[in-house]
Every structure is written in structure tokens, then in C-alpha cells.
Amino acid sequence: MIARLFSTKRSRAGAALAVGALALLAVGIPTAVTGANFTAQAQASAAIGMGQWCSTPNPTTKKNVHPLSTLPSVAGTRMIIVPVVPAGEYLATDTPAESGRLGIRVWGCGDVTNSALKVTAWRGSGAPTAGDWITAPANGSYASARLNPAGTLGTELRNLHSGSSVPGGVDPSTGVSASTSRYSWLLDSTRDRGAKSAANPACGNKSCVVAPSKTGASFSSALSLNEAAPASGAVVGNSVTYLASKYYAEGGTWPVNANGSAAAPAASPTKVASPGFANPLADTSGRLLQWVVIEWTGATPPPSVEVEVFVG
């Protein structure tokens, strides 16, 4: 039996579902794709019942998919911090992605509220201790792991993510701002699903301080809730893809020219490579591990909105 990968949610009232179901059967579509979930053979952008249904990935079978409704409360907001390494559990859902590139895909249907979403990624600073975890990685699975936002490492990442508690000065180990030397941007108030889907923060030279905006992106600007929306820019049906970029070079240092001088600021894709036999959690290069912080703010989390974290 093919594993169920997509769950579906009623997006609006319409013609009787039986009409759509009969139409699907009439053209020979297997009944496996006419129920409450899509299968691996169905496209995420496909619709059931002549557009009456809206599909999102099924988090019970895709561990890299995080429903906002499951995010725990942390200091007046909802947040999780996850370790991201290149593995099968971090494969993207039916979206071609640049090999090794870190990204997120935000899914949603029509049940949104006045909310904001912020997602950032950070180069590691050393292996977590046992006390840093809510759920530690087990049996080679990282997508189900959860760092404790109130732990030592979690607090460090939460402060960086906030955009208002960025450590001042230069990191002596890299010669670059403590934030700039670790930060990869994914989604905050400076990005949207349209022209700014790939916007990069300003940076004039090696001394620039690059940090997330203090607020997240509004749902009205960042999400696509129409499963029939044509592919355009970052939008694919009822999902929007945002790819990670950074200014720092491996290890958090600043890129250099051939003569050894500091290069002009240029954003580069954030990629994660296979750790081989190394422990990715101890990585400080940014090449084997990225910590991804997902934060939602609002009154009641909409049931359909999910954040899929992937490595291309």
C-alpha cells in the first residue's frame, strides 16, 4: 500500500462531493486518490471534488512538515528549533530544488487568521548537551528532534532569531559580526510570495550586521491559499517556497578575493552536505548542519498552515 503523504481540508462550500467523486471514477482515477488523503502518486497541486478540497502534506508520514497548530508556546509566542541535515526525511515535496539547498515550503488553505510567520537558519556553535534537547535525535532521525528553546543553545538561537537581541561587536573567531557570520535568511517581514520572495538583506561591507527583522511576514503577504494558483515566482498552488541564502563563507568567515582581500558582499545559497561519518550536530562550518527556527505569532494557529523544511 502506498503511504499517505497528503491530508486534505475542506476549503469552501460547493457542489455535492458525490458529483466530483463520480467524475473522478468515470475517468478511471484510482479510488486511492479520491479519499481524505493524497497518495505518493498524486501531485500536491491536484484538487479533489472539482476544487472543493485543499491539500497539504501529511505530517504523520513527512516528519519535516510542521503544522503551526503543533508548535509549543515559548515566551508569548509559538516556536520550534530543529536540526537540519541532508537526509531522505528532508526531501522536498514534488518541488525541484537546487541540490543541497536549504529551503522551506509554506502550505495553507483558507482557514487563516491575522498571523505572522518567521523562519531563520543558523550555523552551529558546537554540539548540544543532553540538557539542550526536548527530543534528541534517535536512530539517525533528525527531523523529529526538537531543541529546547529555553536551554543554553536554544536561548542563544532564540535571541539571534529575535532580531532584537543580536550580540554586538565582531566574533573574534571569524572577524565578522556574530549575527552575520551565522545567519541564513528564509522568511521574515522583508520577504513575500511575490517580487520579494528572494530578497536579500542589505550589507555594504564586511562590517555589516545582518539580522532578521523583528517581526515575521504577514500571512496575507507570505502565503498562497489557492490550490488552483498558477506557478509564478515562489508560488506553487497553495504553497510558497523560500530558499535560504547567507553572506558568510564556510566557518563563518568573510569571502575573500584571489589576492586575499575582503570580497564585496554577495549573497550565496545556503547548502548542507552529507556529513559522512562525522557528527553533524558538532559542526560549526555551516556545511553539515543548520539550525532552523520556526516562529508563529497570533491568537489561534490556523489548522491548515504547515511549514515544510527541506534540503534539495
Residues 284 and 144 in one domain: yes
227-242 confidence digits (pLDDT tens): 888 888 899 899 999 9
Q: Pick from 23, 46, 61: which residue ends a domain?
A: 61
Residues 176 and 241 in one domain: yes
Residues 50 and 168 in one domain: no
Domain that holds residue 38: 1-61
Residues 140 and 265 in one domain: yes
282-293 confidence digits (pLDDT tens): 999 999 999 999
34-60 confidence digits (pLDDT tens): 223 333 333 343 433 344 478 899 999
Residues 20 and 143 in one domain: no
Residues 3 and 110 in one domain: no
Q: Pick from 61, 78, 105: which residue ends a domain?
A: 61
Strand partners, 102: 311
Residues 184 and 245 in one domain: yes
Q: Pick from 61, 77, 109: which residue ends a domain?
A: 61
Residues 41 and 106 in one domain: no
118-149 confidence digits (pLDDT tens): 999 999 999 999 999 999 999 889 999 999 99
Per the confidence metrics, is the pTM higher than 0.75? yes
Cα distances (angstroms) measured from residue 267 to each of 81, 143, 212, 217, 255: 24, 27, 15, 21, 10
Number of domains the chain is built from: 2
Residues 97 and 56 in one domain: no
Residues 132 and 192 in one domain: yes
Residues 108 and 133 in one domain: yes
Residues 46 and 137 in one domain: no
